[in-house]
Structure 1
Amino acid sequence: MVEMDFYIILMTVIGVLLLIKFMSRERKKVPPNPPGIPLLGNINTLRKETMLSTMRKLHKQYGDLFSINIINQHLIFVGGYKTTYELLVKKGDVLGDRPNFLTKQLLRNAGVFSTSGPLWKEHRTFCLTSLRSLGFNKGNLQTRIIEEIEYFLAEVENTHGQPFDIQDLVSKSIANVISALVFGKRFELSDPTSAELCLLLNAIFQSTVFHSPIFIFPFLKHLPGDLFGSKKLMKKVNRIFDIICKVLDEHRSTFDENNIRDFIDCYLKEQKKKNEAYKEHTFSDEQLLSTLVEFFSAGLETTSTAIKWGIVYLMHNQEIQKRMRKEIENTVASGRLPTLEDKPKLPYCQAVCYEVLRLGNVSPTTSPHALKHDVTLNGFVIPKEAFLFIDLDSINMDPKIFPDPFSFKPERFLSEDGKVTGTEKICAFSMGRRVCLGESVAKMELFLFMTSLIQRFEIHNEAGKPLPSLKGNFGLTYTPQSLAASYKKIF
């Protein structure tokens, strides 16, 4: 008994000494952080409900760089256009592997989004090359989008001006555009598989798990129970993998390498080629499945959320809605939908879409990056072991770049002679090597959906009800709280 007590005391002393050594190791001049709780640090600083306002206050207090210290793990936030450009573009080669964060594990450490290095480079290049080889250039992709818009508008018309929340319909429609890219087909808007997929993805992106300690300490998932909700979240993610896997298996059974229909066929053809030439390669079934899940999760959520914010801001700004419609009426022949060919003659509509991307703030921060080695930036050291977040909100809401940033002002992107200008400073898709893979597709979808909807319908809030809130819900993305509106058909 005495020996046991001595052993416990000895181990406690050793543990305390190791902790003191760990906490007193050489301190680098990292970006400043707000006061915190001893040992736990700033664990309560970034709460889901107040995260945006807190980040803005910290940038105002500390500048472009600040840190959040959670149990001695540095979370470094980089903001401001100049500083972000310096890091992601001029010093872009210092970005290393993705850190071991929760999302990486949810995506099974595969795909493109959560990987880095040679695997990331090889598969990102393959994705871009494959989509181009399928003929999904501006013209062919536009045909697919407009086809989906026609189904979308028909569903809106079927409401006969009665108020409804359009969010599910927007999500299903954008999911169908992605489905056309990867599966070579669309789902009926009433299809239960598509509905479940959209429901699961929306729930995942709004989960509180991503604002809890388990996001940066995923080993906490092994604790008994489900304190942070990660196990419940994992079930949803696994269900998405099951849905995509079933569609993939059905698709594989009809694969013909002489008749390439879509992205999956491109991948299966490349996989067959690699199997014949190499004993080991990265074109595995697991890599394909994770890539498909990424296509849907990233492509669906960001674009559909931007469209939803566009509707919210137009409900709040009826004069802007009318001006868009007038420009469309003066440019687009009656009876047909707007196209990309009309875009140069629709500068105000373009400006509205750019302002939606800026103020809609779909992704206020990026997922975490890691560094190959310590980096000096603005006189501070960003340690190699830190979690590095790019604060896109600090750029899009910078009053020095965008005066009166909290107001919806499309004219900020128009010159005196009515030309679109100043859009290069918007940072909705990040920048540098990790710029969003689907940026061009997202912008195309936003423009075509918004102009087509405004061409055909007047959008108003429900009679006697307040306008939808301009304050969103913060999960992995920033989304509107609700979107009940009536759509009055014009012609």
Structure 2
Amino acid sequence: MLTVVLIILLVVAWVLYKNKKPKNCPPGPVNIPLVGRAFAMNQNHPEKAFVEWQRQYGPLYSVKMGSDLMVVISDPALLREAFNKPASTGRMAGPVLEMLGVQRGLIFSVGEDWHVRRRFTLFHLRNFGMGKARLEDVIREQVDAFLEHVVAPSEGQPLTIDHSLDLAVVNIIWGIVAGETMSMKDTRVLDILEKNKSVADKAKRLNIAVMVPWLLKVLPRSLFRLDEVIELFNYPKTHLIAPVLEAHRRDFDPTSEPRDYIECFLLEQRSDPQRFTDEVLARSIGDMFSAGSDTTSTTLRWAFCLLCARPEAQRRIQAEIDQVVGASRPPSAADRQQMPFTEAFLMETQRFGDIVPMGVLHSAEQEFELGGYTIPRGTILVSLLRAIHRNPAHFPEPEQFKPERFLDREGRVRPSKALMPFSVGKRSCLGEAMARSELFLFLTCALQRYSFAFPAGFQHDLSSADRLGVTTPKPFEVVPTRRR
């Protein structure tokens, strides 16, 4: 009997110890032993609970998810300070993420592996045109294909642009990665896009296991759909990346100039086979797909929705296009400096759409100070972008879509340090330059030739769909009309 009592006391003491917050930790909600506040989250919109706690505890607070301590940051200055510290460049880890193998890619890698992969990828993306005129030609080719094969045949008719928009954006990345362009009807990519969306739907239950990993040891894996998620997560690697990699390996000539990212990787693999493995390549390409294409295509989807909901803004952008570009040539990235309202519209679309409302989670690799508090090593750092982008102190009337907020009295672009759709600091989005070019050229090339409206009688409430991880607008159709 005494042994049983001692065991119970030891377990209780361990639970209380694990539930206790460190000294000088930011304030936050009371945590439930073993699970923290994981079950307080809305599985479709987890950011909602974090925003509610932010209203109560302020722009820097802490909360436990399982046994993990999270520090949530929603002040722009504090976020920049935190994410510019070398100590904040870690990533969240755990058994679920290990089973998915995400640490072998770009987004979730850490330490020296992350430094090497990011430097390698950024160098070769720039070599293949990111941020240069060469990339503009690639983007315009995809815009032309989108307008010719998707928009033109549906002129005057309701059109859903989801998959075709996704494919056009994926093709830009795929051209750099694999040196080939896929048709708008390529079933390989359409299947992958479907599987990617299925991952987001099925991962809602798994999100709890990520936060409270010990649940996987006491509950059936099927309850979290773990095996289904792993299979879907690996689908792009198995059905697209692996076959293309093998084809590249057969034709690869190490004495010739590399033609794409895969060949650059194969060349590097010959000198450092331990770090540059096939698995690392597959995961890195998958990360470029998900981070580069999904967020950009979702932002464009918001842009088309907002163009139809705010026709006066659409006409104002078209007036800038007519004045600066005209009809005799396509828009160029160089035109951006002379098109302030168009730039302001894109900035407001990113703020209003708030595509990744909680950013990508960081982890503290070392203890550091922030805002007068101590952030312990191993703390998960959350950039609560939803609270920043919807804070009336930074953006008056935040629930209203107002591109003019990014213009000064003379009509010039007025950037805001509180707008951070690509995150900030040492792990900010490495494809930011490419994404900005894609957004500007897609929008202006489309509006140079077409006007867009909702079908007669339809109104969009500008709310988002229930999709984990990415904030996308509820479904809508557009009716394109050729400009004369």
Q: Deviations over 1:336-378 (max 9, x none)?
A: 3211122222111111111111111011112222212333322
Equivalent of 1:319 in 307, 312, 334: 312
- Asked if the contact 1:209–1:230 (Cα under 8 Å) also holds between the matched residues in 2, the reply is no
Report how many aligned residue pairs link the two structures: 477
Alignment check: 8 A CA contact 1:79 1:392 kept: yes
The separation in 1 between residues aligned to 2:32 and 2:213, in whole angstroms, is 21
Q: State the one-letter code of the partner of 1:356.
A: T
Counterparts of 2:433 and 2:161 in 1: how far apart (Å)? 24
Q: Counterparts in 2 of 1:120-139, with a 5 A limit?
A: 120-139=114-133
The correspondence for 1:214, drawn from 209, 216, 238, is 209
1:275-314 superposed matches below 5 A:
281-314=274-307
In 1, Cα distance between the equivalents of 2:9 and 2:198?
42
Instruction: Name whichever of 59-68 and 178-187 sits farther off.
Output: 59-68
How well do the aligned residues superpose, as a CA RMSD in angstroms? 2.2
Distance 1:414 1:96 in 2: 34
Q: Does the 8 Å contact 2:65/2:211 carry over to 1?
A: no
Distance (whole Å) between structure 2 residues aligned to residue 47 and residue 149 of structure 1: 37
- Report the 3-state secondary structure (helix = DSSP H, G, I; strand = E; otherwise coil) of the residue aligned with 1:488: strand
Matched, 1:227 2:223: yes
Cα distance, 1:264 vs structure 2: 0.5
CA displacement 1:157-199 (0-9 Å, x = unmatched): 1112211211111101101011111011111010100111222
1:182 aligns with 2:180: no
Structure 1 residues 254 and 64: alpha-carbon distance in aligned structure 2, compared to 1, 3 A threshold: same
Q: Which residue in the other structure is 2:188 paired with?
A: 193
Shift, 1:382, TM fit = 2.5
Task: Tell me how far 1:107 sits from its aligned partner.
Answer: 3.6
For 2:27, the equivalent position in structure 1 comes to 32
Query: By how many angstroms is 1:227 displaced?
Result: 1.2
TM superposition score normalised by structure 1: 0.91
Partner of 2:197: 202
Residue in 1 that maps onto 2:113: 119
Looking at structure 2, the residues matched to 16 and 487 of structure 1 have their Cα atoms a distance apart, in angstroms, of 69
The partner residue of 2:460 within 449, 463, 467 is 467
Counterpart CA distance in 2 for 1:374 and 1:302 is 32
- Contact 2:69–2:380 (8 Å) recurs in 1: yes
Q: How does 1:59-74 map to 2 (within 5 A)?
A: 59-74=54-69
Segment drifting more, 307-316 vs 169-178: 307-316
Alignment of 1:398-409 (within 5 A): 398-409=391-402
Distance 1:261 1:12, change over 3 A: farther
Structure 1 unaligned residues grouped into runs of 5+: 1-5, 276-280
- For residues 381 and 409 of structure 1, the distance between their equivalents in structure 2, rounded to whole angstroms, comes to 38
CA 1:118–1:40: 2 relative to 1, 3 Å: closer
Aligned to 2:244: 247
- Structure 1 residue 19 displacement after superposition: 3.2
Per mean C-alpha deviation after superposition, the further-off stretch among 12-21 and 323-332 is: 12-21
Match of 1:340 in 2: 333
Measured in 1, the distance between the counterparts of 2:340 and 2:389 equals 20
For 2:132, the aligned partner's letter is: K
Pick closer, same or farther for the CA change 1:429–1:96 going to 2, 3 Å: closer
Question: Is residue 162 from structure 1 mapped to residue 160 from structure 2 by the alignment?
Answer: no
Query: What is the Cα deviation at residue 235 of structure 1?
Result: 1.2
SS at match of 1:269: helix
* Structure 2 length-normalised TM: 0.92
Aligned to 1:278: none
Whole-Å separation in 2 of the counterparts to 1:56 and 1:379:
22
Contact kept? 1:48, 1:208, Cα under 8 Å: no
| Conserved? CA contact 1:468–1:482, under 8 Å | no
**Residue 265 of structure 1 aligns with which residue?**
263
Deviation per CA, 1:293-320, whole angstroms, max 9, x where unpaired? 1111111111111111111112211110
Secondary structure of 2:479 counterpart: strand
Q: CA deviation at 1:116?
A: 0.9
Where structure 2 has 5 or more consecutive residues not aligned to the other structure, the ranges are none
Match of 2:371 among 375, 378, 398: 378
